[in-house]
A and B are shown apart, each in its own frame.
Chain A
Amino acid sequence: MTALAFPAASLPWLVWQDVKLKARGQAGQRARLVLVLVLAVLPLVGGVVLAMRHRSAPMLPVAALGQVAAGLAGMALVMLSSAYAHVLRMGRDRAELELLLTAPIPAARAITARIASIHALVALPFLMLTTPYFLASLLLGHWRWLAGPLVVAAIAVLATAGALIIAAGLDRLLGPARARLAAQLVGVVLGAGMFVLGQTPNFAPRWFAARLAALDQPPPWPLDVPARALFGDGLPLILLLALAVLAVRAAAALAASRLEAAPAPDAQTTGRTAHFGGSTMAVMFRKEWRLLARDPELVAQIGQQLVFMVPVVALLFTGGQITAARLAAAGVFVGGALASSLAWLVIAAEDAPDLIASAPVARRQVLIAKLGAALAPPLLLVLLLAGVVVVRQPLAALLMLPMALAAGLCTAAMQLWTRPPARRSAFRQRYRSSLLMTLGEFLVLGCLALATNLMLAGSLWVLAALALPLLLLAGVWRFRIRPPA
């Protein structure tokens, strides 16, 4: 499908251009292909299978309303978070919008197109995931369930309006810079909460079963409105769609006022000036840490990426047993992952590589200083965790530190050898930039965490768990990107 299908400069044409640009910014061509396959093919198969299983369900499955309502609430939260990120970006990246505003098209259309593209970007992933199920259900006789995609779209519209209201409120209360930080922190806390909740079947199975049982009862009004609307119940559906129409209008009005009053970049001052004396190592250390400490958005994003590892780490605690050996393994995994993030920042995302390269400092010295800056925070974190582990099993704590250091060095080496120079602002996309390297990194971390566990169990399989990352590292070294001459 191309934009040629729409008349140039029409509203759908503008929306399509914007969605296309945003989608391009997210990943490379191969990654997009994988994404399309995952989002289109798998839901198609899964949706049909699921619909087949539900073919004998009543048109309005009252018993499932609680679980569906909980699922929709979770979806709404994710949509809100996604919409908020788009709203922030809309305020920041004004160049494209200003180009549109100077073009001979009505300003209202340009702004409406921008908002419509946010609606589309928020709704599309969920529509792609759920529509096959609703279509299959229609064919199996549940014609009312065709309301499902409409409800998903309506919730996306409401989430976007909610995001705009929150953005405007926070801007007014805290100012743009602090509002951005607050949003990031809320995002981390929400994300952490959802992930931890998602993993409770692993480490708190009884508690989870009790909560699940509570969802067997249908929720009270108005909490049941979205779930009932999803199954095509007339009045709730009309109510939700009416709210969505109001939200579309409110979003357009809020966006217009937000874009007209877009703030100038913050001129941030600092009360305390950093000093950069001492050895080259000290100078580089201070520079890296200062840059990180001054960038709370980045710190929040690092936290967010660590949160995304909760499901992987939770695998170590399957069955609800939290042993010292498992904690040590988790420490190695998380420490290595944090080191990887920081190594990417200090090595690949150096803001002024030419400045450093033209300074009278040996490249090796710079590298050692940068690695030191990247490894120190994860080692501190692991040291804290070792303080907990040492009480239960001193050997586990003792082993955790060198293994975490090894994990950090391995992931840092992978960053150094493979990652091309990038901007710090691209941190969020770093895992998406190379699927192969991301998988390799997780494999190395997983093997080293497993090796820690096996070593403590006295198993000889530890040799295999250590050999695999070594082989992988040798492969990465072989195909490394050589530094430009």
Chain B
Amino acid sequence: MHAILPPEVPALEIRALYKGFAGVAAVDGLDLAVAAGEIYALLGPNGAGKTTTLRMVTGLARPDAGAIQVFGVDALADPIAAKQMLAWLPDEPLLYDKLTAAEYLAFIAGLWRVPAELAASRAEALLGRLGLADKRDVRCEGFSRGMKQKLALAGALIHAPRLLILDEPLTGLDAASARVVKDMLIEIVAGGATVIITTHILEVAERMASRIGIIRAGRLVAQGTMAELVAGRGAGTTLEDVFLALAAA
């Protein structure tokens, strides 16, 4: 059970985050706040520091400096408590080839301490929704890229995370599956969860995100709603125009 937090507590708060590799800053003093219950799209060109930032939030990499708070919990001081509220879906699905789809979900539920019965019912619902019900007892080694991606998403959702972090979640999905995933994300946000998404498909960010952040060279260069980002840039300005102007500047 999570403590009831005042509404002003952000889902994610990053302050002065810094991470360098071999003396080169990948994330350079980043400040970012994502409110609870929103879909936040983090955009940026290749190598801008998006994935490094998110890996630090999920505890996969340790920052050189800065602070990360997940729903008010210091993720660096108490990573276990922070991870309990998080789910991370990387751009390459993390699966075990020799486990079946149902076993994979049961394993993740076990790691997040979801009661077995609840996990089983959630697994059935997720597999059904994602079109994998008939694959529940099939080993992952025979899955296509899209099926692996969907199962990895089901794995991220099996423990009902409060903050869902998705790195390129639509990679490898056909149009119908992509639509299902987008609908699911909107639903879980309506249910009170928060979603942070990185994508190179700007249309997805434009349509789904309540706020968009643009990162370049490890720094946040713009942030706001779609309307705020295009404001003052002339009629007919698209997110692509804004992105290209800011990311290439």
**With contact pairs A276-B106, A485-B61 given, residues A354 and B141 touching in the complex (Cβ less than 8 Å):** no
* Contacting residues of chain A (248-299) with chain B, CB-CB under 8 angstroms: 265-271, 273-278, 280, 282-283, 286-287, 290-291, 294-295
Most A-side CB within 10 Å, residue of B107, B108, B113: B107
Q: Smallest distance from the beta carbon of A286 to chain B beta carbons, Å?
A: 8
Asked if B100 and A269 make an inter-chain contact with CB atoms under 8 angstroms apart, the answer reads yes
Contact with A along B172-202 (1 / 0, CB 8 A): 0000000000000000000000000000000
**Nearest CB of B to A277, in Å:** 5
Contact across chains for A274 and B142 when beta carbons are under 8 A apart: no
Contact of B103 among A276, A351, A362 (CB under 8 A): A276
Residues of B within 8 A of A290 (CB): 98-99, 103
Do residues A273 and B103 form an inter-chain contact, with CB atoms below 8 A?
Answer: yes
Does A360 contact B111, Cβ atoms closer than 8 Å?
yes
With A277-B110, A357-B60 as contacts: A351 and B95 at CB distance below 8 Å: yes
| A265 contacts B88, C-beta separation under 8 Å | no
A274/B60 in contact, CB under 8 A: no
- Contacting B58 at CB < 8 Å: which of A269, A271, A291, A358? A358
Q: How far is the CB of A279 from chain B (nearest CB, A)?
A: 9
- The CA of A397 and the CA of B86, in the complex, are separated in Å by 49
Instruction: Provide the B102-126 mask, 1 if CB < 8 A to any CB of A, else 0.
Output: 1100111111110010000000000
- Is B129 in the interface zone, CB < 8 Å from A? no
> What residues of chain A lie closer than 8 Å to B155, measured between beta carbons?
355
Whether B228 sits at the interface, judged by CB under 8 Å, is no
B74 lies within 8 A of chain A by Cβ: no
Partner of B107, one of A283, A294, A358: A283
Q: Is A352 an interface residue (CB 8 A)?
A: yes
User: When A270-B137, A359-B111 are in contact, do A294 and B98 touch as well, CB less than 8 Å?
Assistant: yes
Chain B residues with Cβ below 8 Å from A360 are 80-81, 83-84, 111-113
Interface members, chain B 75-104 (any A CB < 8 Å):
80-81, 83-84, 86-88, 90, 94-100, 102-103
Tell me, yes or no, whether B138 is within 8 Å of chain A by CB.
Answer: yes
Q: Does A104 contact B (CB under 8 A)?
A: no
Closest to B165 in A: A358
In A316-374, the 8 Å CB interface with B consists of 351-352, 354-362
**B108 to A: closest C-beta gap in Å:** 7
In this assembly, does A25 line the interface, its C-beta being within 8 Å of a C-beta of chain B?
Answer: no
Determine whether A458 belongs to the interface, using a CB cutoff of 8 Å to chain B. no
Q: Please judge, given known A-B contacts A265-B142, A270-B137, A357-B60, whether A276 and B109 are in contact too, CB under 8 Å.
A: yes
Q: Is the CB of B110 within 8 A of A354?
A: no
Given A273-B100, A354-B90, decide whether A268 and B84 contact each other with a Cβ distance below 8 A.
Answer: no
- Kindly name the residue among A267, A270, A360, A362 whose own CB sees the greatest number of chain B CB atoms within 10 A: A360
Interfacial chain B residues near A222, Cβ < 8 Å: none
CB within 8 Å of B: which of A456-485?
484-485
User: CB distance A354 to B60 under 8 Å?
Assistant: yes
Q: Choose one: B106, B108, B113, B139; the contact of A269 (CB below 8 Å).
A: B139
Interface size on A, residues (CB 8 A): 35
Which residues of A sit under 8 angstroms from B106, Cβ to Cβ? 273-276
* Distance A210 CA – B77 CA, assembled complex (angstroms): 72
Q: Give bound CA distance, A361 to B159, whole Å.
A: 14
Residue of B nearest to A280 (CB): B111
Is B145 in contact with chain A by the CB < 8 A criterion? Answer: no
B59 at the A/B interface (Cβ < 8 Å)?
yes
Query: For residues 10 through 27 of chain A, which have their beta carbon under 8 Å from a beta carbon of chain B?
Result: none
Enumerate chain B residues within 8 angstroms of A274, measured Cβ to Cβ.
99, 103, 106
The verdict on B15 contacting chain A, using a C-beta distance below 8 Å, is no
Give the complex CA separation of A266 and B97 in angstroms.
12
Inter-chain contact B139/A294, CB cutoff 8 Å: yes
Partner of B94, one of A267, A273, A355, A484: A355
A177 to B112, CA, bound (A): 34
| Closest Cβ–Cβ distance, residue A58 to chain B (whole Å) | 59
CA distance A283 to B119 in the complex (A): 14
12 pairs from A and B in contact (CB 8 Å cutoff): A267-B142, A269-B137, A270-B139, A273-B137, A274-B99, A295-B98, A351-B95, A351-B96, A354-B90, A354-B94, A359-B108, A361-B80
Interface residues of A (CB under 8 A from B): 265-271, 273-278, 280, 282-283, 286-287, 290-291, 294-295, 351-352, 354-362, 484-485
